[in-house]
Amino acid sequence: MNGIFLILLILLGTSFSAIVESEGEGCSSDIKEAKREALKNAKINAVERHLGVLISSKTLIVNSKIMRDIIQTRMVGKIKRVNEPVYGEPRIVGKDQICVFARARFDIPDESLKPADFSLVLVLSKKKLKAGEELYLEISSEKPCFPYLFSVDAEGRVYRLLPNPVEKSFKLMGKVRFPTERMISHSYKLVVEPLPGRPLPQREEILFVCAREKIRSFEEFFPSAFAEDEKELRKLLTQAYPKTVERFNEILIQLGAENYDMVDDFYLIR
């Protein structure tokens, strides 16, 4: 395994640049969201195609993390689309899901994919929830690191779950349940609510990032989901933070792949 690990690091350190055409599929109850998901998956497939079996092989694992996941979390925000995407005809799947294919060409810049030396686990209590229902998470890391939790709503806006006004930044040692005991003692709950004016089900994503050092820009830029004034929080999300996903990716790029690890999962509000 040591020999494979060394070869893998050498390959990951090799610079590359190419224009790659690929396609991906996305599904959602909303056609715009389905197209956005399809384009995101096309980006992931473009990187995988360029790096070939190094990424897709499940025998090459670093710290129990398949290389495809490293590509997904570290590269999607870095490659650029170089032409207008072509979308296939939407198709209906089930009662409320629309699926669509997207094809586009992407510029994959010179990059060094140096993996972090710790890996994370994120567990959601449920995958499907009703409006007003509480969500619980469990996060853990193989090595000590500073945890950050985010939620991405149905419109693609990112807001911060951890740290928050009650649970400040701390070093994660092992496994932690969220909301934490301190948050629960202050009546802080993670309750899911659908966005008004959008059909159900709505898909929301949980992002778990853990880093070697505290990330001030995470705490300063993204509004806390536990703001005292809900109206003020909505105002921040709709006006001051229209491109939070882009900013999120920018911050990760500035950190460097070796300084953090990230996993994500999603749930549906029905």
Q: Which two three-digit tokens encode residue 22?
A: 């690929």
C-alpha–C-alpha distance, residues 30 and 200, integer Å: 9
Q: What is the pLDDT of residues 224-261, one digit of tens each?
A: 888 666 666 666 666 555 567 778 877 877 787 778 88
**Assigned token pair, 6:** 């060394």
Taken in order 167, 214, 73, 64, the sign of the CA dihedral is negative
The torsion region of residue 197 among left (phi > 0), alpha (psi -120 to 50) and beta comes to left
Rg of the Cα trace of the chain? 19
What tens digit of pLDDT does each residue of 85-125 get? 999 999 988 778 899 999 999 887 655 455 677 878 999 99
What's the mean per-residue pLDDT of the chain?
A: 78
Strand 128-129 and strand 260-269: pairing?
Answer: parallel
What is the maximum span of the chain, computed from C-alpha positions, in angstroms? 56
- Direct distance between the N- and C-terminal alpha carbons of the chain, in angstroms, rounded to an integer: 45
**Is the Cβ–Cβ distance between 153 and 95 less than 8 Å?**
no
Q: What is the mean pLDDT of residues 171-192?
A: 92
- Gap between the Cα atoms of 121 and 145, Å rounded: 13
Residues 6+ apart with CB under 8 A from 250: 77
Amino acid letter, residue 130: K
Distance of CA 127 to the CA centre of its chain: 16
Model confidence pLDDT, tens digit, residues 205-222:
898 999 999 999 888 888
| Phi, psi angles (nearest 5°) of residue 27 | -130, 140
* Rounded mean pLDDT, 73-95: 80
Q: How far apart are CA 93 and CA 89, in angstroms?
A: 13
